[in-house]
Amino acid sequence: MNWLKSITFSDLHQKFGAFRLLIIIAASILLVAVLSYKVGHAYKNHQDRIITEQKQRLDKLYEMNELARTQINTLQVELEIERLANHKAQQTLRSVEDDHFSLKKELAFYEKIMAPEKTANGVIIDEVEVIPTASANHYRFRVVLVQQQQSKRYAKGHIEVSFDGSLQSRPASINISNVSALDKKALSFSFQYFQVIEGEFTLPENFIPEKIDVSAVLPSGKWQKYHRLDESYAWPSNT
C-alpha cells in the first residue's frame, strides 16, 4: 500500500491528462454519491421497518389494554350486581326471620291461651326478657302478664323470679330477692288486661346463669281462687 502514498496529483495529471482525470474524479464522486444514497436508503428502510414494528407492537399493547379495561369494567359490573343481589338476599332473609319470629311469638301466645296448664285463672306469662347493662353482671328484666279472658275483675297476685345455673362449678339457684332491691310489692300485679313488671338485678361474679324461673302466684281471695303458674326460660344467648 506504500505505493499509493507516493502517487501525487501531478503524477495522475501527467498519466491520464486533465480531461480523463476530471472524468475519473467525477465518476468517483458519482460512485460515492450513489453508494451513499443506497446506504442511506437501506438505512431508511431499516428504520421504517423498525418504526412499523414498534407501531404494530404499540397498537397491540393499546388493544390489549383496552381489552383489559373492558374486562375489568365487566367484572366490576358483575361484582356490583352480585353485591346488590347479596344485599337484597340478606334483606329478604332478615325480613323472613322477622316474620318467622313474629309468627312464632304469636303462635306461642295462642298456645298459652289454648293450653289450660299454661294459665293461672286466665292469667298467662306472655313474655320474659333479660337485658344486659353496661355494668358487669348487672341486668334489667321485664315480665309481661296478660289476662286472656275478658273479665271485669282484676287479677291480683305477685311474681317470683329465680335464676338457675352454676356457681363455682356447682349447681345453684338464686332468688331475685337476694340479688336486687326489689321487694314483694315491686313484684306484685293487679290488672284487668295486662301488666308489665320491670326491675334490675346483679348476679354474683362467678355465677353462670342457665335458665330463668318465673312464677305467677294468685292467692285465694274474695273473688279468686289460689292459682300458681310456673314457667322456665333458657338464659338469653345475647347476654
CATH class of 118-234: mainly beta
Cα(25)–Cα(17) distance, integer angstroms: 12
The answer, as to whether pTM is greater than 0.75, is: no
Cα(111)–Cα(178) distance, integer angstroms: 33
Question: Counting beta carbons within 10 angstroms of the beta carbon of residue 200, is it exposed (0 to 12), middle (13 to 18) or buried (19 or more)?
Answer: middle
Q: What is the pLDDT of residue 94?
A: 81
Contact 161, 212 (CB under 8 A): yes
Return all residues near 149 (Cβ < 8 A) that are at least 6 apart: 122
Return all residues near 192 (Cβ < 8 A) that are at least 6 apart: 147, 151, 152, 153, 154, 155
CA-nearest of 124, 149, 153, 125 to 221 is 153
Phi, psi of 89 (to 5 degrees): -65, -40
Cell digits of residue 152: 271485669
Q: What is the pLDDT of residue 198?
A: 96
Return all residues near 153 (Cβ < 8 A) that are at least 6 apart: 192, 223, 224
**Domain extents in the chain:** 1-83, 118-234
At residue 49, the 3 state secondary structure works out as helix
Cα(125)–Cα(143) distance, integer angstroms: 7
Low-confidence ranges of the chain (pLDDT < 50): 1, 3-4
Cα(239)–Cα(111) distance, integer angstroms: 27
For Cα atoms 65, 69, 71, give the angle at the middle one, nearest 5 degrees.
Answer: 115
For Cα atoms 129, 130, 134, give the angle at the middle one, nearest 5 degrees.
Answer: 145
Cell digits of residue 216: 305467677
User: What is the maximum alpha-carbon separation in the chain?
Assistant: 163
HSE on the CB side for 220, CA within 13 Å? 2
For 69-102, write each residue's pLDDT tens digit: 888 888 898 888 888 888 888 888 888 777 765 6
